[in-house]
Amino acid sequence: MAVIMYVDFPHKGIWGDQLASEMSELIESITKEPGFIWKFWTENKETEEAGGVYMFETRESAENYLDMHTKRLERFGYSGIRSRVFELNEKLSKMGKAPF
């Protein structure tokens, strides 16, 4: 069963197109993670928060990625990292036009 993972953290820095161009290597590595399906990158300049919503094939693959990603963010100097992993109700999600 697919799962959704949510991550956010305080972020002071670059946004938008500049962030996208500087994160190209990071997104390339994310897409190669076991069980990865997709990621929506999130940012809010006003509240200085960034993060993402991810879909993984299994809870195990999401939790493995989350553990590695949290450590990576901490090495980059981030703290206050929040995360959650949810099972996906695929039937209701498809009815709600989820991007499958």
CATH topology of domain 3-95: Alpha-Beta Plaits (3.30.70)
DSSP secondary-structure letter at 33? Answer: S
pLDDT tens for residues 86-98? Answer: 999 999 999 999 8
Q: Give the pLDDT of residue 61.
A: 98
Statement: the pTM of the whole predicted model exceeds 0.85 = yes
pLDDT tens for residues 31-83? Answer: 999 999 999 999 999 999 999 999 999 999 999 999 999 999 999 999 999 99
13 pLDDT band, cuts 50/70/90, is confident
Nearest Cα neighbor of 55 from 26, 88, 77 is: 88
End-to-end CA distance of the chain: 13
Query: For residue 89, what are its two tokens?
Result: 């109700």
